[in-house]
Amino acid sequence: MNKTEIIKIVAFGDSITEGTYGGADVSQTYPSLLQNVLTKNGINTEVVNTGIPGETAVEGLKRFKWHVLPQNPNYVLIMYGANDSYIPPGYRHPVISIEDFTSSIVMLIKMAKENHICPILMTTTPLAIEGFFDDDVSNSESHTNYLEKFMVIIREIATKEGITLIDHYQTWKLKDAELGILAKYLPDGVHPNAAGNLLIAETTAVSIIRLMNE
């Protein structure tokens, strides 16, 4: 890796990527913090935040060619699942089917590869049930169950496509079992605050640095 080269990374996803819904400011979103962490590690990096709150992978697929391809990045970080697996009030299952979610993620990876962009697939963060679903406790278990099913799909796709997976969901679950981070890092139950965004950034940086050195 040429240390004088600017490595461009596009962060692509929903409100977890956009990063301010948990109370963080723009400089505290995971893409901004990721750039800081990589810079401190001697990597000349530009990280572009293209997260759109409320978006699903199906919707992301429709804008990939407009928001990612013109950037001509070296890497694209793809993180979806929170909205895809969400069960709206009155529904018993997510509006986005597992089949549509799967095909959309696969197509995003294909488009990246075809345009010489290295895709990095990421699972999203877990839910802190006591926060986000206080008004719908009876349905909270179903939300978590569906989110975990969608995360399994992400892992399977990464393996099948032979691409890097950054498993934030698993990282957060393990840290929560040890330190109880979900209630601290997800103030509304779903969106990370500045501390949560830093954990995402640091976890992501480790994988990117490893990938760059391969």
For 121, the domain range is 7-212
pLDDT higher than threshold 70 for residue 140: no
Q: How many whole angstroms separate alpha carbon 167 and alpha carbon 171?
A: 6
Is 29 a domain residue? yes
Is 44 a domain residue? yes
How many domains is the chain partitioned into structurally?
1
Is 98 a domain residue? yes
- Mapped onto helix, strand or coil, the DSSP state of residue 138 is helix
Is 121 a domain residue? yes
Q: How many whole angstroms separate alpha carbon 164 and alpha carbon 162?
A: 7
Is 101 a domain residue? yes
- Mapped onto helix, strand or coil, the DSSP state of residue 17 is helix
C-alpha distances in angstroms, 143 versus 132, 138, 165? 11, 10, 23
Give the residue with greater pLDDT, 31 vs 145: 31
Query: How many Å separate Cα 24 from the centre of its chain?
Result: 16
pLDDT higher than threshold 60 for residue 131: no
In this prediction, residue 137 carries a pLDDT of 46
Task: State the angle between helix axes of 168-179 and 137-161 in degrees (0 to 180), rounded to the nearest 10.
Answer: 130
Is 2 a domain residue? no
pLDDT higher than threshold 70 for residue 136: no
Question: What does DSSP assign to residue 151?
Answer: H
What mean pLDDT comes out for the span 145-165? 97
Is 1 a domain residue? no
In this prediction, residue 134 carries a pLDDT of 46
What mean pLDDT comes out for the span 45-57? 98
Structure tokens at 112: 């990246």
pLDDT higher than threshold 90 for residue 36: yes
pLDDT higher than threshold 70 for residue 139: no
- Name beta bridge partners: 8: 46
Question: What does DSSP assign to residue 28?
Answer: G
pLDDT higher than threshold 80 for residue 62: yes
* Residue-wise pLDDT tens digits, 68-81: 999 999 999 999 99
Structure tokens at 99: 């089949």
Q: Name the pTM for this structure.
A: 0.95
As a whole-number percent, the residues of the chain with pLDDT over 90 amount to 83
Q: pLDDT averaged over the chain?
A: 93
What mean pLDDT comes out for the span 174-192? 95
- The answer to whether 59 and 67 have CB atoms below 8 angstroms apart is no
pLDDT higher than threshold 50 for residue 198: yes
Q: How many whole angstroms separate alpha carbon 65 and alpha carbon 67?
A: 6
- Residue 195: CATH number of its domain: 3.40.50.1110
Give the residue with greater pLDDT, 23 vs 139: 23
Is 119 a domain residue? yes
Question: What does DSSP assign to residue 6?
Answer: P
Strands (E) in 32-98, as ranges, are 45-49, 75-79
Give the residue with greater pLDDT, 91 vs 161: 161
CB atoms within 10 A of CB 131: 15
